Amino acid sequence: MGRKLLLEHINVPGINTLEVYRQKGGYAAVEKALKTLTPDEVVEEVKKSGLRGRGGAGFPTGMKWSFLAKPEGVPRYLVCNADESEPGTFKDRYLMTYIPHLLIEGMIAASYALGANTSYIYVRGEMMPQIRILERAIAEAKNAGLLGKNIFGTGYNLELYVQPGGGAYICGEETALLESLEGKRGNPRIKPPFPAIAGLYGCPTVVNNVESIAAVVPIINEGGDEYAKIGIGRSTGTKLISASGNLKKPGVYEIELGVPVEEFIYSDEYCGGIANGKRLKAVVAGGSSVPILPANLILKTINNEARLMSYESLSDGGFATGSMMGSGGFIAFDEDQCIVRNTWNFSRFYHHESCGQCSPCREGTGWMEKVLHRLEYGHGKMSDMDLLVDVSKKIEGNTICPLGDAAAWPVASAIRHFRDEFEWHVTNAAEATSRNYGLANY
Ligand code: NAD
Ligand code: SF4
């Protein structure tokens, strides 16, 4: 049984209230940090833990914190990115719904470490229940003297606000989020400068995902070194995985990083195998922004080593760079799923959500959606697959923000691994047109 650092008490009745959360040891990390550690020492613990950003990019959290500029007399901000919108990703929503004080405790400890006295939780606008839950929890914490002035009598002050999001996927991109928080249209900014130098209102800002901030609590409680003992290599600690698609037991799981993918899919501790006795066809291991991997590749051993649930082990043979663990949105497709239909569905999403600032993304996502639509509905041509790969290459690396890459990778990887299925849609157009099934639930 893997260790649970975030979800250990998730099933305790009333854990969403301050009273029960404190009975289970809640706010001990804040007390320890504020009373016994300097801000720099908290940063040091997070660095030692090896924690990497849980939103998708996997950037080392402690390093991001140490990049924060500290000009004299200029406020610094911590902004929690709770704009969770990646298809197949619902772990932050789960955490905020059932154990909101864990996030608030993490926000206080992280704000203290960064020297922020005003912090924000930017929550996806559609998540009204979670916004209310957080507001209630913040009010409880404030009444108990855990927020506001002179927390734990240490002289440290923090005001924490919840900001409903703008209702667009792109507002989850950190600089678009900051624009939206400033009351403007959520268009991504060109980086550099990174938010650590010029973020909210032009001031130094750290933007961290909900799960990253929650993980600061066990890191302070147990110490960075202890946290780093969990996991494998540079993938330390535990990670929340949102499991969906054709699995027997979809849901949110906390895993120790390094669990074999096969164990995660088939063991009863996690997903319990593929639903309805079907075979696994493919997996999208990190939300829709990563390549789709066929079953034979994800279950295959590489150099006698099994594929692991880690930042390093889920790559697509050097085809795409970055963390292929992404947001931890693990979508399984069974043998009945239509790869063309699912790829078109992803493409439709990215086209709809493109903010339109860069031509390759604005135009390219539209072209990809149209070509995939005609393939799915029996009007495709054999040359369409090369056309799609060509368009995806022209988008990749040529845009302001990662949405362009995210739109390109699923299309290019689907054609790379399932070209025969795309060709079948051309040679069996009538049958392809009459089918309207094969779209996974995620
Ligand atoms: P990124 O790699 O550009 O940046 C990662 C983080 O590191 C950012 O906070 C950035 O400011 C910081 N950083 C990087 N280099 C830095 C430097 N030199 N100095 C200071 N700070 C630096 O990626 P990103 O745009 O933050 O995230 C992309 C990922 O988001 C995708 O891989 C995707 O998986 C994920 N995503 C998640 C969701 C979700 O709902 N969870 C939605 C969309 C995308
Ligand atoms: Fe907007 Fe797409 Fe450019 Fe990102 S890549 S800034 S979403 S047009």
Q: Judge whether residue 325 has pLDDT over 80.
A: yes
Residue 323 has a pLDDT of 61
11: pLDDT confidence band, cut at 50, 70 and 90?
A: very high
Which protein residues are within 6 Å of ligand 2, measured from CB?
170, 188, 354-358, 361-362, 399-401, 403-404
Q: What is the pLDDT of residue 324?
A: 77
CA dihedral for 105, 21, 163, 237, sign (positive or negative): positive
Q: How far apart are CA 359 and CA 63, in angstroms?
A: 33
> Which of the four pLDDT bands, split at 50, 70 and 90, describes residue 320?
low
Given this model, what pLDDT does residue 316 score?
76
Quote the ligand 1 centre to 174 CA distance (angstroms).
7
For the Cβ of 188 lying below 6 angstroms from any atom of ligand 1, the answer is no
Where does the pLDDT of residue 436 fall: very low under 50, low under 70, confident under 90, or very high at 90 and above? Answer: low
Q: How confident is the model at residue 317 (pLDDT cuts 50, 70, 90)?
A: low
**Which residue, judged by its Cα, is nearest atom 3 of ligand 2?**
358
pLDDT digits (tens, 9 = 90+) for 159-207: 999 999 999 999 999 999 999 999 999 999 999 999 999 999 999 999 9
**Of 85, 86, 175, 358, best ligand 2 pocket probe by most atoms within 8 Å of the beta carbon:** 358
Average pLDDT of the chain is 94
pLDDT of residue 302: 58
Identify the pLDDT of residue 112.
Answer: 98
Please give the average per-residue pLDDT across 248-270, as a whole number.
97
pLDDT number for residue 435:
67
Q: Between these two residues, 286 and 95, which has the higher pLDDT value? A: 95
Measured at the alpha carbon of residue 120, what is the angle toward residues 27 and 147, in degrees to the nearest 5?
35
Site to probe by mutation for ligand 1, drawn from 59, 89, 324, 350 as the one with most ligand atoms within 8 Å of Cβ, is 59
Contact indicator for 258, 244 with CB cutoff of 8 Å: no
Ligand 1 pocket, 68 CB below 6 A?
no
Average pLDDT over residues 115-142: 98
Among all bound ligands, the one having the nearest atom to the CA of 403 is 2
CB of residue 69 inside a 6 A radius of ligand 1:
no
Q: What is the pLDDT of residue 348?
A: 97
pLDDT(313) > 90: no
| 328 pocket-lining for ligand 1 (C-beta < 6 Å) | no
pTM of the predicted model as reported, rounded to 2 decimal places: 0.96
Q: How far apart are CA 233 and CA 236, in angstroms?
A: 7
Ligand 1 mean position to 229 CA, how many Å? Answer: 25
Residue appearing with tokens 């362009």: 404
pLDDT at 322 exceeding the cut of 70: no
CA 302-306-309 angle, to 5 degrees, is 115
User: Percent of the chain scored above 70 by pLDDT?
Assistant: 95
Q: Whose CA is nearest to atom 1 of ligand 2?
A: 355
Q: For a substitution probing ligand 1, which of 65, 96, 194, 241 has the most ligand atoms within 8 Å of its CB?
A: 194
pLDDT band at 218 (very low <50, low <70, confident <90, very high): very high
